[in-house]
Amino acid sequence: MRKFQGTFITCFLVLIAVSLPLNSAPGEANNQTVQISKLKIKGADHVSIKEIKERIGTEFPSIKPWAKDPEFDEEILKDDMVRIQRLYGDHGYYDAKAEYKIKYNDKRDRVEITIKIVEGKPVILQDLNIDIPEDLNEETKKDILDSLPIKVNERFSSIKYQQTKALISDILSNNGYPKAVVEGEAIVNRKEKWAKLSLKINPGLLYRFGSISAEGNEKVESYVITREATFKKGDIYSTKKLNDTQARIFQLGLFSSVLIDTDLNEEITTADVNVKVRERKLGEVKVGVGFGTEDLFRGQIVWTKRNFFGGGRRLQLSASASFITQRFLVSLIQPYIIGGGSELAGSINFERDDFPGFKAGSIVGTVGVRKRFSQGFGGFGSFNVQASRLSDVSSETEQFIERNNYFVTFFNFGIVRNTTDNIFNPTRGTVALFVFEPSFKTLGSQVNYIKGTVQLSGYKELLNVVFAKSITVGFMQPFGGDGTFDVPIFKRFFAGGSTSMRGFPFQKLGPLDANEDPIGGNSLLVGNFEIRFPIYKDFGGVVFFDYGNVYKDEFDYRLDQLKYAPGAGLRYNTIIGPIRFDFGYTLNPEPGIRRYQFFFSIGQAF
């Protein structure tokens, strides 16, 4: 019996022993998660850290102190070393090595990772041979040779090799050869670090555009679609022209989808083009509401009738109201007035403004032309007639106003270039806007003046942080015997508020009367700099620095009178743009104006 008990106890202890792990990894004994507190990469001189981060599976800790650090998995980290070496191979560093070191904290629940990369020597392209058919036109040959991303005596990489083949195919498809084939052979000597590359170009048949037709349109006439084509029958085939045509048809606003199909006929080497569209609702009503610190509650209702009496034209009626401005606008837009990408617009606008320095009721009639020259680049010109009546002007401001009733005729000319990635919340790109506005008594206006405005903005994203800057410069020059205050107050420059200088209340930056009401000026200089960063999910933060002033006289930009306002804000991203809360603090305020301001609105400041 005792022997049986001893045997049983011995077996029981053995079972317990073998059920325990012999060598538990840190944190595994109690299922404790190990987090990555730091991840450093050393030795990456010729491949960007960003590209490495995109390739590996191990996550980097966030720069946000409140964010949760990623979990550590050593098996993933081991695989990452292979991924890094393959990435370097794609860049021509076939002997690159990657290894890692890990360091645990005292509690062994956090780890620091150091990845060390030894890049080695790259493979250099020693010889490049391109077999181009002799009958290919000289201009296309030159485009190919001048645009090659891979060059002799430079680093060879499979990435540039594939880019070269794709680029040659694109050039050929834009010059009449949609069926071009580019074959290549690369010989790589990893030991001696050289490569030889041979490319053979088979352009195929030269195609020209044939007929163009439309399909799927029920209420919109076919000619409205086909006239937007950037090519004519008989032109050399071009994929880029097809893409531009598709974009122009879609921008008419008449269709929910636009697809382009080509029929490449090998017998007669023509490409017939068929545009397949799906019409959107031609009648539409949109309603919008909002709130802002300056204009408080605001609302808008817009009725649009597309293809109004045919021809692709649009009739639009809109009404908007806030505690500052009320407007009713009727506009009629005729597309294709001077070719594709252009439109003629006529409108009449009834508006009522309640600004800090004055109230104004106006009727404005406008006839103008807009033209899109290329993607993101366009111009506009218009002739405008405005009749305005001022009211509730303070007694102090009246001394700066020549009359209460104004009749002004003026031109508006402008050029805009916009390369940003998002109109509501840009993260990269630039905006350049130039506006010129002359008014002449010879055209019935009561005042002579020339007004100009230049606005430049730029955006750049780095490590998920957006750096944004903007500057606006404006001038107003009366002439022909008219003085500074002959120009209507509603045509002068004002600044201050949520979208200009956030250290000042709405329109309170610049000349003020004795009652501290703004009277506007003839010179404007305002600049902004912002750093926009994510916080958590759709929440973001901003720190900014605004500067500027409005000056009474024309071309009177006195830099020693600039006002400066640093500040910070919060953002919540939505599909219509970020909801914005900003706090600005003026470093050198004007007497009688509070040096700190709060703003709540929708959309970025610029």
Percent of the chain with pLDDT over 90: 78
Query: Tell me, which fold does domain 208-279 have in CATH?
Result: Ubiquitin-like (UB roll) (3.10.20)
Distance in angstroms (rounded) separating the CA atoms of residues 184 and 584: 60
577 vs 213 pLDDT, higher one: 213
Integer Rg of the chain from CA: 33
Q: In terms of DSSP bridges, do strands 563-572 and 579-585 run parallel, antiparallel, or are they unpaired? A: antiparallel
Q: Give the global pTM.
A: 0.78
The pLDDT tens digits of the residues spanning 279-316 come to 999 999 999 988 888 888 999 999 999 999 999 999 99
Distance in angstroms (rounded) separating the CA atoms of residues 293 and 324: 11
Find, among 13, 62, 45, the residue nearest to 464 by Cα.
62
pLDDT at 10 over 60: no
Query: In sequence order, which residues have a C-beta less than 8 Å from that of residue 187 and are 6 or more positions away?
Result: 195, 196, 197
Within this chain, domains 124-202 and 208-279 share the same CATH topology: yes
3-state SS track over 201-247: EECCCCCEEEEEEEECCCCCCHHHHHCCCCCCCCCECCHHHHHHHHH
Position 515 scores a pLDDT of 84
Provide the 8-state DSSP code for 56: -
The pLDDT tens digits of the residues spanning 39-92 come to 999 999 999 999 999 999 999 998 777 778 999 999 999 999 999 999 999 999
| Contact of 497 with 506, CB cutoff 8 Å | yes
Position 394 scores a pLDDT of 67
pLDDT at 193 over 50: yes
The pLDDT tens digits of the residues spanning 216-242 come to 999 999 999 999 999 999 999 999 999
Position 364 scores a pLDDT of 98
Q: What is the CATH number of domain 124-202?
A: 3.10.20.310
Single-letter amino acid, residue 560: D
Q: What's the average model confidence in pLDDT over 438-456?
A: 96
pLDDT at 25 over 60: no
Q: Which helix (H) or strand (E) holds 466?
A: strand 465-478
| Contact of 111 with 34, CB cutoff 8 Å | yes
Percent of the chain with pLDDT over 70: 94
What's the pLDDT band for 400 if we cut at 50, 70, 90? low
Dmax over Cα atoms in the chain, in whole Å?
Answer: 127
Q: Kindly report which listed range (16-20, 249-253, 388-392, 506-510) carries the lowest average pLDDT score.
A: 16-20
Q: What's the average model confidence in pLDDT over 530-554?
A: 94
**Mean pLDDT of the chain, nearest integer:** 91
3-state helix, strand, coil in the chain (%, to 5): 15, 45, 40
Q: Kindly report which listed range (16-20, 427-431, 495-499, 584-588) carries the lowest average pLDDT score.
A: 16-20
Q: Does domain 367-378+389-602 have CATH number 2.40.160.50?
A: yes
Position 23 scores a pLDDT of 41
Tokens 């508020």 — which residue? 497
The pLDDT tens digits of the residues spanning 328-347 come to 999 999 999 998 889 999 99
Provide the 8-state DSSP code for 119: -
The pair phi, psi for residue 261, each rounded to 5°, is: -120, 140
What's the pLDDT band for 12 if we cut at 50, 70, 90? very low
Question: Which sequence spans correspond to the domains of the chain?
Answer: 124-202, 208-279, 367-378+389-602
Provide the 8-state DSSP code for 3: H
The pLDDT tens digits of the residues spanning 113-131 come to 999 999 999 999 999 999 9
Q: Kindly report which listed range (8-22, 216-230, 406-420, 576-590) carries the lowest average pLDDT score.
A: 8-22
